[in-house]
Amino acid sequence: MVDHIHRSHFASQLNETLVGQNVSIGGWIEDARDIGKLAFLIIRDITGTVQAIVTGHDNLQLLKSTPRQSIVMISGFVQNSKAKGFPVELKVEVLNVLSRSTHPLPIDPTGRVESAIDKRLDSRALDLRNPKVAAIFSLRSEALQIIKESLHSKRFIEVNTPKIIGSASEGGANLFSFPYFKKKAYLAQSPQLYKEQLTLALDRVFEIGPYFRAENSHTVRHLTEFISVDIEAAFLDYEDIMDIIEEVIRDVALGLNERCSSILQLVTDSKKIVTSIHKSRIDRLTYEQCLEELAREGEKLEFGDDLSDASLRKLGEIHQGFYFIMDWPLKLKPFYIHEREDNSKLSKSFDLQYGYLEIVSGGRRQHDSSKIRARLIEQGLDPANFSEHLKAFDWGMPPHSGCGLGFDRLMMTLTNSQNIRDVVLYPRDTDRIIP
């Protein structure tokens, strides 16, 4: 019986060593050129393309009525090819059309006719047949793998904390709420409180998961659901976390260069990820140094002012690629951030920037519950709402530090994408919740 599901090879596996052998390939028709007695087909699968030669009345008739992008299984003999870019081709014996596509399709997945991102997102699965688009998601997958390897090698263990939570983790703003049986529940905006608690027993933890922000932001860098790489570690200070995050990002850049050079070429037109990170250490500026640099550029800010997009863009011009901004004013930071011992107006905190784009935010955490209570009150929050969290601080809480890395934003920088929607499969924003 002929098996219409299992292929013998992926497209990229066909080579001269297989000449004369019977093979089968499953994929979709990217191109078809009928020249009368025979037709040239380009079949694509996730690994690449195969040129196939179709002959015979029945096969040619079937092909005539089969739209491009339909799914086929072809089998036949491998032979040498004269075609440019194809050392071998497949002389088709059996052509099976397994699933016909409609015509016309909503977008052209070959990329020859370009569509705007919104139109592409409406037909995202089809959009992924464009090899350039699929390549971004292969890089994403590999980058996640490298991050996990890098953190495991530093003794972090991977954890999963709940995304349905019963109380606001970092204050009430920006939370999605929904009825939960007889209670009200929220979607987690970060694993902040859980990961801090976990350091008292598990020492070093990381979590890669989706987080939710009910922000009414219409930008190319904000989504309502995004993936964060969160890390938290006992007995480490914030500069140790900066070292770790620098190493993780370097591992990702070098790892992608090493493991994925051909797909990198598709995405960035270069076999290497273009960041300065493999060459030198990332610049570490203090917030106050940033104010000085901005003042020299004619932008006068007072201590305590937040840095606007425009200010960050200016700093990004001076410091190309990644740079840290550390020691922010304490009042700009959440209640759990530790003050500097030598100046309580400053915090042990940092952001990692790529130009204007904030990629990571982190710091040393307060581990003295009386200080956390005082900070909550200072920020207008009620410590009673945090009692579940604060009780863990009475069980012996080690000093600890950590950070959250916006994984989608990191992928923007690594793939030179200007819009976060380019690197997220099914982005969620204020307007879009389907598909």
Binding site for ligand ATP (CB under 6 A): 213, 215, 222-223, 226, 228, 358-361, 404, 406, 408-409
Q: Is 126 helix (H, G, I), strand (E, B) or coil?
A: helix
Task: Output the smallest distance, CB 312 to ligand ATP, in A.
Answer: 10
Residue number with CB closer to ligand ATP (7 or 409): 409
User: Residue 52 or 143: which CB sits closer to ligand ATP?
Assistant: 143
Residue at shortest CB range from ligand ATP = 406
Nearer to ligand ATP among residue 25 and residue 359 (C-beta)? 359
CB of 241 to ligand ATP, least distance (A): 13
Q: Which of the 8 DSSP states describes residue 104?
A: S
Nearest to 336 by CA among 286, 418, 289, 402: 402
Task: Tell me the closest approach of the beta carbon of residue 222 to ligand ATP, in angstroms.
Answer: 4
CB of 406 to ligand ATP, least distance (A): 2
* Cis peptide, bond prior to residue 435, ω within 30 of zero: yes
In whole angstroms, how close is the CB of 396 to ligand ATP at the nearest point?
A: 27
Closer CB to ligand ATP, 120 or 213, in the complex: 213
Give the C-alpha separation, 347 to 345, whole Å.
7
Residues 6 or more apart from 346 whose CB is under 8 A from it?
A: 287, 327, 328, 329, 330, 339, 340
Three-state DSSP at 271 gives coil
Nearest distance in Å: CB 388, ligand ATP: 21
Q: Which CB atom, from 49 or from 189, has the smaller least distance to ligand ATP?
A: 189
Pick 26 or 191: Cβ nearer ligand ATP: 191
- Cα separation, 365 vs 237, in Å, equals 9
Q: How far is the CB of 175 from ligand ATP (least distance, A)?
A: 12
The Cα 110–Cα 132 span in angstroms is 9
Closest distance of CB 213 from ligand ATP, Å: 4
- In a 3-state reduction of DSSP, which class is residue 295? helix
Which C-beta is closer to ligand ATP: that of 44 or that of 409? 409
The amino acid at 176? F
CA 394 to CA 375: how far, in whole Å? 17
At 1 the three-state DSSP class reads coil
Q: Which is nearer to ligand ATP, 63 or 424 (CB)?
A: 424
DSSP string, 142-191: HHHHHHHHHHHHTT-EE----SEESS-SS-STT--EEEETTEEEEE-S-S
Nearer to ligand ATP, 226 or 393 (CB): 226
CB of 103 to ligand ATP, least distance (A): 37
432 burial via Cβ count (<10 Å: 0-12, 13-18, 19+): middle
Tokens at residue 307, please? 């840095």
Task: With both helix axes pointing from N to C terminus, report the angle between 261-268 and 131-153 in degrees, rounded to the nearest 10.
Answer: 130
* Nearest one of 323, 159, 338, 154 to 238, comparing CA atoms: 338
Nearer to ligand ATP, 339 or 408 (CB): 408
Smallest distance, Å, CB 194 to ligand ATP?
15
